[in-house]
Structure formats: structure tokens, C-alpha cells
Amino acid sequence: MTVDSSSLKASVVQRFHHNRPAITSFDGFKIETPENLLTLVVRTDTNFATRTLQNAFVQSGRLATRRSLLPGSPLQIQNLFERVYKTWGTEVVSAVSDALDYESRYDLSQTRGQTNIHFHSADSLAGSVIQKAGVFLEQTCPEAPAALFISLDDMIHDRVFHSVVKKGNFAEIGFSRLFSLAGEEVDHVARPGHPTLPTQLDKVRKALIRAGGSEENPVPIVLLEDNVRRAKTLLWIFDKMKERGLFQHGRVACVATCFSVATKEEKEKILCQGQKVPLLVGVDYAGSLVDVITPRDHFFDGFVVQCRGKYGRLPSFMFPTSKVAEQFKLEGRKTAQFMDRVIDANINFCRSIKSETGHTLTLSDFVPGPTMAYALNVSPHVPMVEILKRKARERKGPSLRLV
């Protein structure tokens, strides 16, 4: 569908879902898009983005004590957050669409303010990608030991894997790009909440050994990704796998990704042990003007940083305006207004939850909350709305200092 971003906030965004796309080719399920409009692709992530909040409500029984409000069953809590998050997501996607640098980043000077918005079911898309990799293995190495599927993305999880795979094993390697508090990319580190990278890689190596893998008869490895944009990240994880001895017991048979916006040149760079690695794509937007966006980075998730010796996440509004523009491909002169709109959407989310439940959300309720508390030198029990209002005031003050 085509969405005029000026009216998106007031309209209902129709979901563009593909549940388990058919395997038409290993290049991906092909979707045609208008040639002169940008398509923004979003994986539905309501439960993933708000699971920390939902768990806090379920475990504490916050709703059960208010007779006039929800009784507080897990399903009712899920429905509440799904509804409020949908409103929040519409506001944020609208802000993104309005602020993108269409001319410099996408070579679209005549169609700014209009975008295609495609939503895909995260679990269904992951399932179709895993299934596609299984077919590929059957065709290319039918006599090999049962493959090890390694997820590099938290939203591609074992429940989806076990629902579609009969032969094979599942593992995870959780890592993320590390940013400075000034918004500069500095390294790759273990994703917050995961063990150190050496520990994770050693666990995977032991799984390959248990599967009977050897240099003479290596276990096929399938790396599962959400989106491939550049070869750089994959080459980095290949090097780490080699360093920890994984290739003494296994070999990378393919990379299976939900989306790919990598150029042909970037795909050619995906080499492991001197061999080109096949890239299997779930949904193929090749040849289209398309970009994958993650709205939750603006509130519920964010970029990994190291703060006072600990790794955590900070949402976009905690970073300098120039870095927000760079990371999210925004037009410089529109970035300040974009950040104001994001903060407003975040405040509205918190107020909606307060209105419907009577509960005031604090920093500690959110995934990035503890890191925000460290960075701002405040208690994690401070209401989130107070911090958001403070950020709004700082943005309108004579001196802008977000971190």
C-alpha cells in the first residue's frame, strides 16, 4: 500500500503480511513495489518489544488490585500492550517517513513524504527462512550430519525452529554492534543478557562435537539473520568462529536471512574459508527502493553501549541529533523535529498505560531503563515520563546535551 506520511498518524496502517511465503527460489519470495516510491519494511515485534513490560505486570499483579481496570490475566495484558504499542508504532513510523533523507540517501527528490509500508509477521517469516534453508541442505548435502542452525537474531528463536525443522539442531550467538555514548560505532560485543562471545562460541563448538562433526565430515552450519545489509558483520563473525575452532567440526553451508538489502558487490564479499557462502533470502526486494526499519530502537530497545563498565541499551533520543540523523538516514534539518515527535510518542505510550492501568511506568520497567539511569545518574525508579519531559526541555534549551 502507499501511505502519505502527512496523514499516517491519523490513519490505520494496514498490515502487509506474508505468512510462510512459498519457496519460489532461494533468492526469496519476490514482492513487486512501485519504482518511484520508497518501501519501508517492518517485522511485527509487539510482544518482543514489550515483553519486559508485560512480564513485570504479570509477575507483580499490578492490574489485579484495581477492580475498575483489567483483572490482569496474561492475555489481557498482552492485548493491552498490543493496542497501545500499535498506536505508538504508527506515530513513530509516521515520524520516520516524514524525516527520511529521500534525496541524498535514496535518490528520490520528487516523492518525499510518501512511502510504502510493509509489515511482516516476524515468526512466520523466520519459519519460512528456516524451512528454505532445510530444503537447500537436502539438495546440496543430503549425506552430511544433521545441520546446526545458529540464530544471530533474538527474534529468530527456538520455538519457531522446532515448529518447522525435523532434522537439525538449534543454537544462538548473540552479538551486537557497540556504540560510544556519543553515537560512534566502536566494536562488536556480546548482546546484553548473553554470556561473553568466547563462552557462546565454545558452547556452539561443543554442540558441533556432540553432533559428530570433524574436519573430514563437518556439520553443516546455517546462520540465521534478520537482514543482510553489508558483508562486514558476517565476515567478523566468521573470523570469531575460526578463532574458537568451530571450523574443525563444522562448515558454514549458507546464510539464511529474512530480508536482504545488500548490493551485488556486498554479496560477493561474503566469503568463509575462501569459499563464497550462499545467501538465502526470505523476502526478495531486490531491485526495489526498500529499507528495513526497527521502530523499537526509539524507545523499547536501542543501541548497545558500555556505561560504567556494564553493557546495555540506549534508545535513539539519548544520542546527539547528528548521530541520530546518520544512523536512521534522516534529513539533517528535520532530525530535531523527528526526535521531538519520538519523545511525544513515548510520553503518550506511558500516559496510555497509566490511564488504563493506574500504573506509572518507571525506567526499571524498560529494557534500556537501567542503562538510562546510569547514563543520567538517576534512580531506576524514576518515572519514565519525567525523563522524557526532561529530554524535551533539554532539546528546547540553549544548550543541547542529550547524554
Q: Using alpha carbons, select from 90, 91, 99 the residue that is nearest to residue 326.
A: 99
- Sheet containing 175-179, strands listed edge to edge, beginning at the edge strand earlier in sequence: 185-190, 175-179, 303-307, 310-314
- 53-94 pLDDT, tens digit per residue, is 998 888 776 654 444 445 567 888 899 999 999 999 999 999
Q: Using alpha carbons, select from 274, 173, 283, 292 the residue that is nearest to residue 222.
A: 173
Q: What are the cell numbers at 182?
A: 556519543
pLDDT band for position 22 (50/70/90)? very low
Q: Rounded to an integer, what distance in angstroms lies between the CA atom of residue 363 and that of residue 369?
A: 4
DSSP state of 251: E
Long-range contacts of 30-33 (CB under 8 A, 24+ apart): 30/284, 30/286, 31/118, 31/283, 31/284, 31/285, 31/288, 32/288, 33/116, 33/285, 33/288, 33/289, 33/290
pLDDT surpasses 60 at 389: yes
Query: What structural domains does the chain harbor?
Result: 123-284 (3.40.50)
pTM of the predicted protein model: 0.87
Name the residue type at position 132. K
pLDDT surpasses 70 at 50: yes
Bigger pLDDT: 139 vs 399: 139
Residue 111: predicted pLDDT: 57
Buried b (16+ CB within 10 A) or exposed e, 207-229: bbbebebeeeebbbbbbbbbbbb
| 236: CB partners within 8 A, 6+ apart | 188
Alpha-carbon Rg for the chain in angstroms: 22
User: What are the CA-CA distances from residue 229 to residues 15, 43, 268, 276, 279 (Å)?
Assistant: 24, 16, 12, 17, 12
Using the structure block, give the residue that is written with the C-alpha cell 528463536. 157
In percent, the amount of the chain with pLDDT more than 70 equals: 86
User: What are the CA-CA distances from residue 383 to residues 83, 281, 302, 392 (Å)?
Assistant: 22, 42, 19, 15
pLDDT band for position 34 (50/70/90)? confident
Whether the CB-CB separation of 124 and 161 falls below 8 Å is answered with no
Q: At 388, which helix (H) or strand (E)?
A: helix 384-396
User: What are the CA-CA distances from residue 93 to residues 100, 205, 320 (Å)?
Assistant: 11, 41, 20
